[in-house]
Amino acid sequence: MSVQATAAPITAAASPQSEREQAARLKKTLLYDIRRSVSVFRIDSGGCNACDIEIFAALTPVFDVERFGIKVVPSPRHADVILCTGAMTRAMRLPAQRAYDAAPDPKIVIAYGACGCTGGIFHDLYCVWGGIDKILPVDVYIPGCPPTPAATIYGFALGLGLLDQKLKSSHHVEAEDEQVGIAHPRIPHLLRVALEREARRMAGYRQGRQIVEKFFSLLERDDGKPLVQHVAEFLARENDPRLTEIMQRLEAIYAAGSGRD
């Protein structure tokens, strides 16, 4: 009598991590509106270390990825970004899931290198699930075998929204007889210059410009209300003593000089 042993199947269906709806909304803020340093935790789920060498090269002073505020941290509990290199192996599936769960929401997952994106040349091994996206919800793919440090920086920048302004920029070619329009043409030139100088003197170059532009917008309203009422309503909403002082000073300059230019 022959006995046939029945073994469990070598491969089984992987259980990918799910992303909560609230975490997905917060992630959009992290991706496009981030204005602070970004902490990265790296997971090597099963690679040849070539990707790790390129990541370390991106950290060196030659490429200096830290100039973008991107830094590597030793714990996923402090991480904004989970950077995964290598194919997703069976042995690293649970550790990768635990690291993902330990990272606070919102978090970004980056699949790095050909193996991290698709499993690479190891995709059909018995001990490999495939790419990182078989287990974790990936937001950014950085392909390459391995990716260059320049591609690494570009992938981080694209994923974190640092290139958002560049991607949305427009290019204008000036025509032969084209002339630049004058800003606020209804306000006399000398009076406009005096208002801009006073606002910048009191509040600095950048903030002074913002304040005087707001003053110009109140001045150019055509709803029948006097400027005094517009300024009073604006200051009542802001409730800022320093802004009140600057606005009242601009209002006095306008009242004194509106009839001279």
**Cα–Cα distance, 211 to 247 (Å, whole number):** 8
**Cα–Cα distance, 165 to 151 (Å, whole number):** 19
Q: Tell me what pLDDT residue 212 has.
A: 92
Instruction: Quick: pLDDT tens for 124-176.
Output: 788 888 888 888 888 888 888 888 888 888 887 777 765 455 556 677 788 88
DSSP state, 161?
A: T
Higher pLDDT, 34 or 68: 68
- Angstrom CA distances, 22 to 25, 28, 103, 179, stand at 5, 10, 15, 49
Instruction: Quick: pLDDT tens for 105-119.
Output: 777 888 888 888 888
What are the residues whose beta carbons fall under 8 Å from the beta carbon of 161, sequence distance 6 or more? 31, 32, 33, 34
Q: Identify the residue whose tokens are 């210059």.
A: 193
Q: What is the CA radius of gyration of the chain?
A: 29
Higher pLDDT, 107 or 4: 107
**% of the chain at pLDDT higher than 90:** 11
Q: Tell me what pLDDT residue 164 has.
A: 52
**Cα–Cα distance, 45 to 135 (Å, whole number):** 11
Report which residue type is found at 210. Q
Task: Supply the DSSP string of 191-236, one letter for each residue.
Answer: HHHHHHHHHHHHH-HHHHHHHHHHHHHHHT--SS--HHHHHHHHHH
* Domain spans in the chain, listed from the N-terminal domain onward: 21-165, 189-254
Give the SS3 label for residue 131. coil
- Count the helix, strand and coil residues of the chain and give each as a percent rounded to the nearest 5: 50, 10, 40
Q: Per CATH, the architecture of 21-165 is what?
A: 3-Layer(aba) Sandwich (3.40)
